[in-house]
Structure formats: structure tokens, C-alpha cells
Amino acid sequence: MVKGPQVKEIPGPKAREVIEKHHKYMATTTNDPNEYFLVIERTEGNYWIDVDGNRILDFSSGIGVLNAGLRNPKVVEALKEQLDKLIHGAGTDYYNPYQVALAEKLDSIAPGDFEKKTFLSNSGTEANEAALKIAKWSTQRKLFIAFIGAFHGRTHGTMSLTASKPVHRSRMFPTMPGV
């Protein structure tokens, strides 16, 4: 039987306790204590289950990085299989066959009849930092354009392009020049 969202109280008592401890023990530069209220314990399908048992439908695909679902069984199985082989295979310092196989697969399915290259990174922020460097290197230009409402990350360079929430940039000036 498919279950829909079930929400009693957000944040619930367990969530409030975790949030309180978070603010006591966790260092952060971007969390607004009045804005975030979800304390996710696990996922089921496309639902977050918080520490108080509330079921919340994830409309953001895990902030846009889980387009195959929050805990897709095929993805989970592939992760388990990979963990048995190699946990950390930094392709920046040495080669590994898994990254090459992925890049080859992406090349074969990406549209266009031209040579393609793949850049793998740990996060969207890291990918955007690399894009900034590639843009500067390849164009030899020093300026960037970003739009109000954009979110590109929370590192210094990407934060300079980010304008989705004031908390991301407050007290971080000057940001990267040329934006």
C-alpha cells in the first residue's frame, strides 16, 4: 500500500532537540536557525522520514542531486558493490577503471558528434568551482555574470555567484571580484 505524506508537527519534539544540539555543537556559516526545521532520519521512496515519524514528500530530488530517487534500490546496490571494491579512488592523483568506464559510458550517450570529456567531482559546488576555473582559463576573461536567485554553492568562489538567500553571503564580503 502506497503511503502519502503524514505530518503531525514540524519540528516535532525530537527534531527540536536535534536542532538545539546542532546549534550547540556544529560549526556552520550558512544555517539560519529560524529557517531550517527538518531533521531527516531516513528515506522511503521519495519521502523523507523525520526523527518524529513525519513523512514529507521531497519535491527537490535531494536538492537536485538524487534524480534517481532518495534511496533507489539499484543505486544502493551499485554503491554496496563499489564499496566492496574501492571506497576512495581519487582520479586526480591516480587512475582507476571505474571512472574511466563511467566517462566512456557518458560519452556514448551524450548527444553531439564531437569529442567529449567528463569531469567528476564530489559536489555541485566543486563542479561549479571547476567551471569557474575552466571559464577563466579557456576564455582568458576575468568577469562573470550571475542572476539574482542563483545558487551555485557555498565555497568562496561559488558563493560570489550565489544570490538565492542573504544568509549565504552575509558577513562574507568581499566576495570574489569580477561578478
Strands (E), 45-179: 47-50, 55-57
Strand 55-57, strand 47-50: pairing: antiparallel
Q: What is the pLDDT of residue 114?
A: 95
pTM recorded for the entire structure: 0.68
Dihedral sign, CA of 81, 84, 87, 89? negative
In angstroms, what is the C-alpha Rg of the chain?
A: 20
**One-letter amino acid for residue 120 of the chain:** L
Q: What is the pLDDT of residues 27-68, one digit of tens each?
A: 876 666 667 788 999 988 888 999 999 999 888 777 777 778
Q: What is the pLDDT of residue 162?
A: 85
The mean pLDDT of 88-102, rounded to a whole number, is 85
* DSSP state, residue 30: S
The mean pLDDT of 67-87, rounded to a whole number, is 89
The mean pLDDT of 104-131, rounded to a whole number, is 93
Q: Tell me the pLDDT of the chain averaged across its residues.
A: 87
Set out the domains of the chain in order of their start, with CATH numbers. Answer: 1-85 (3.90.1150.10), 89-114 (no CATH), 124-169 (no CATH)
126, three cell numbers: 566543486
If we measure between CA atoms, which residue out of 113, 110, 84 comes closest to residue 98? 84
Q: What is the pLDDT of residues 57-74, one digit of tens each?
A: 888 777 777 778 788 899
Neighbours of 161 (CB within 10 A): 20
